[in-house]
Structure 1
């Protein structure tokens, strides 16, 4: 079975080839560990020596990502094409935080630390499961568009409805349709924060209807994704064993 992680942009030269399972697992480990270090580094109560250690660790991750970037350039069939490709740019941006602003606390540079989040994009490239999910989502993209349009209509109707029923009783809470949209979001997603709620009988009845509709809205995308993933698994099984999936051979 061909390696699902291999990118034809790179040459297959062995263990350290981009796309090889060992290479990509190491890359995944670096990405996850760097996110853990970034998260711990935001704790204000850390001793100075621990903070310094985290800074040095982040620098090591930066060097590791730089080495990965260099190896991908070296193994690319067309190096300029890789450098200016989407993933080439992602790999380059992932290096910047540790190598240039690693441990600084200057407020002007803190926003640049968010560039570390770009490293999470690299997980997609190194995960066959995420690529399978992407293929499944592509199969139901039109259904998702239709679902998004329907959800937007329901969301607007819910906002208008609760405004009509509650504005007179709570003019400071449901002061306008845009102000009522927060209630619609919390209710349709079945979160129900409870910071704003209806007090009239008709408003509460309307809320009950919206809650039932919200349960359906939450379930629809889950069903679409589950069905698409099942179809993707069946397709992969047939690709691996085409003879076994032929009913005439059973």
Structure 2
């Protein structure tokens, strides 16, 4: 089993190395062709590419350092720290999926909407924090005073319950048993629905506007590309026609001289 697992890990490592090599080559070519290197490195998609590519190379360096320490008989504490770093870096490889944002209009729209609606998201978070700070201690006091078997052992536990309840997730792991506690729970559910509905309209309109802008920009890029191809094709056909006329006249002059 260990041999089969090692062979499988080796195959996955080869595939990953080929993919990361291709991504690295693409990144270097785009960096070389960029008019402004600083603006290129500051773009969000470039940062995503760096965060997705760099863990592979850092993992190779850390693996080499860990192997050297293991051969020299170093302590296990260093190897444990190295193992933790490697696990974190391997988890960052999930960001390869974010590279799809470069080719997906929907993901680009989502990122642009999140950047434009920071104020709305901040207001939503503020509303939820205020409501959670109101309902969680109230439910804790009511349940510990009136319930026969209270499930809420602390106010931080009530904060967890308030977050899950107001966002309408409702795990059901913590449930109020007394009637006043259930009334508080119903109030928190309704207030959570209303508070989350306030900024949703603005976020939706921003999403629709961002989608239309990105779609129009994509259509303009495709139109320019098509115009460039048509212009290039017409220039090539004109050049070939001129060369045919030139060579035809030269050949007729040669026949006349003969």
- Bin of the TM-score, shorter chain as denominator length: 0.5 to 0.7
Which structure 2 residues correspond to residues 75-224 of structure 1 after superposition, within 5 A? 75-79=33-37, 82=40, 88=46, 90-99=48-57, 101=59, 107-108=83-84, 109-168=86-145, 169=147, 173-224=151-202
Q: Can you give the 5+ residue segments of structure 1 that lack an aligned partner in the other structure?
A: 1-43, 242-250
Contact 1:133 1:229 in 2 (8 A): yes
| Offset, 1:152 | 1.2
How far residue 88 of structure 1 moved from its aligned partner, in angstroms, is 4.7
Aligned to 2:237: none
Provide the secondary structure at the position in 2 that maps to 1:167: helix
Q: Does 1:53 align with 2:30?
A: no
1:62 and 1:97 in contact (8 A); partners too: no
C-alpha separation in 2, matches of 1:227 and 1:81:
29
Alpha carbons of 1:149 and 1:81: their partners in 2 closer, same or farther (altered >3 Å)?
closer
- 152-161 vs 115-124, which moves further: 115-124
- TM-score norm. by structure 1 comes to 0.63
Q: Specify every segment of 5 or more residues in structure 2 that has no aligned partner in the other structure, as ranges.
A: 67-81, 221-258
Q: Structure 1: how far apart are the matches of 2:53 and 2:215?
A: 38
8 A contact 1:137–1:228 mirrored in 2: no
Q: Give the equivalent residue in structure 1 for 2:254.
A: none
For 1:237 and 1:91, the matched residues in 2 are separated by 23
RMSD, aligned α-carbons: 3.6
Distance 1:218 1:146 in 2: 10
